[in-house]
Structure 1
Amino acid sequence: MADDDPHLLVVDDDSRLRTLLRKFLQENGFRVTLAGDAEEARAKMQGLAFDLIVLDRMMPGESGVEFAQRIRLADNVPILMLTAMGEPEDRIAGLQSGVDDYLPKPFEPRELLLRVQSILRRSSASERIQAPQAVRFGEFGFDLRKGELTRDGEVIPLTTGEAALLRVFARAPGVTISRAELTRETGSAEGRAVDVQVTRLRRKIESDPKNPRYLQTVWGEGYVLWPD
């Protein structure tokens, strides 16, 4: 492992799963530190800086949700939460605690890897662009806080889905975002719904929606917003 490889902290009370995750993640280019509970994880975080935390929701003592909430009081390190609780309300509770993504158990290791890579890519893009509050492209401006699209100062109405989609793109302009990631970020029921939203959004921001200038397709990968 190289010193500049991303460093992950895996926090789970299942020792077998911790060991398997360490082996798999190391084989895919990550440095990995393990912790069996929130107390041990907190101790590790005092002496080491991590690029992402893989955190189990259900642990003895301090739960993953409680630990994530405490982390968020002082640290913006990305968090991927693992859980055997797959109900929508459980997912919502996890996301409300400040985690960046939520993966139900059992899961395919490859999906875990893709989620980790996706979070790290977003985190890296966010650092580069310093979390913009507004993005401009051509005659258009988008306010991320309000979810408001304007053209030469005039507000262009957006549906809730369109605003959510544009907000995801605007957080990371110039970064290709996959359909699966857009589905998770916007709460769309399926990937095709994202395609429909992209088509509708293009009709509002492109002079020629069939040959988009700003919201472009990256074939085989996803979509990207190119600002001026």
Structure 2
Amino acid sequence: MDDPAHILVVDDDTRLRELLQRYLAEQGFRVTTAGDAGEARDFLRSLAFDLLVLDIMMPGESGLDLLRALREEQRVPVLLLTAMDEVENRIEGFESGADDYLSKPFEPRELLLRINAVLRRAVDAQERVPRRVHFGAFSFDLDREELRRGDAFVRLSIAEQQLLKALANRIGAPVSREELSEASPEVGNARTIDVQVTRLRRKIEVDPKYPRYLQTVRGVGYALVSD
């Protein structure tokens, strides 16, 4: 894999953690392991994972408790591991936000197949979700280059579409006039950026003289900011 998926394995069984770390690494994944929910939380605060393999039965905070808390903050895919194979346990796992469920003991090859299936579904879901940025009453679809105010379309020129897309791709960050010109051929050269910005502000700002969303960054260029 050019960019291998990063998996966090959370299980209090040291032997199983080491086995899974070795096996999944051999299959081309990046693997981090945690022995309990607290250690997992530490990793989740500082690292981005593509998938969690999470044991339910752990001392202290259970895997289900961690999963429920996690679902309030992010949508990282989670595959649950458990020694309990009752229908009620599986239902509880899925209701808590799990993407898949595997009972112990299991064959490593089955785990691998399930991991790959969950990762494929996650990629498919991301591709189906339009990329949008929101600011005030507006939303901008980066793929279609469409601006809406609520449910109503806001008509943009090609230059305005390209300018807004270049800013929205780096929302919150300053973008220089030169970068905007390179990313937006229809806008023109760096000197004409200011003119296009003024026109765009008339469409998205309550008071274009005191812009709230399309802001000037002195000495740099412009930035599109959300609320």
Measure the CA separation in 2 of the matches of 1:114 and 1:104. 14
Name 1:96's counterpart in structure 2.
95
* 2:54 is the counterpart of 1:55: yes
Shift of 1:46: 0.8
Measure the CA separation in 2 of the matches of 1:55 and 1:13. 10
* 2:36 is the counterpart of 1:37: yes
Question: Where in structure 2 are the equivalents of 1:1-228 lying within 5 Å?
Answer: 4-130=3-129
- Partner SS for 2:112: helix
Deviation per CA, 1:128-167, whole angstroms, max 9, x where unpaired? 1118xxxxxxxxxxxxxxxxxxxxxxxxxxxxxxxxxxxx
Measure the CA separation in 2 of the matches of 1:80 and 1:25. 14
| Counterpart code for 2:37 | A
Measure the CA separation in 2 of the matches of 1:117 and 1:47. 24
- Partner SS for 2:85: coil
Measure the CA separation in 2 of the matches of 1:82 and 1:128. 28
**Structure 2: which 5+ residue stretches go unaligned?**
131-227
User: TM-score, normalising length from structure 2?
Assistant: 0.56
- Partner SS for 1:61: coil
Name the % identity: 58
Shift of 1:59: 0.2
Shift of 1:109: 0.3
Name 1:164's counterpart in structure 2.
none
Name 1:152's counterpart in structure 2.
none
Measure the CA separation in 2 of the matches of 1:89 and 1:10. 24
Name 1:159's counterpart in structure 2.
none
Shift of 1:121: 0.2
Measure the CA separation in 2 of the matches of 1:78 and 1:114. 15
**Structure 1: which 5+ residue stretches go unaligned?**
132-228
Measure the CA separation in 1 of the matches of 2:96 and 2:62. 11
Deviation per CA, 1:10-61, whole angstroms, max 9, x where unpaired? 0000000000000000000100000000000000011100000000000000
Deviation per CA, 1:163-210, whole angstroms, max 9, x where unpaired? xxxxxxxxxxxxxxxxxxxxxxxxxxxxxxxxxxxxxxxxxxxxxxxx
Shift of 1:111: 0.3
Measure the CA separation in 1 of the matches of 2:92 and 2:61. 15
Measure the CA separation in 2 of the matches of 1:32 and 1:58. 21
Larger Rg: 2
User: TM-score, normalising length from structure 1?
Assistant: 0.56
| Counterpart code for 1:106 | P
Measure the CA separation in 1 of the matches of 2:87 and 2:22. 31
Shift of 1:62: 0.4
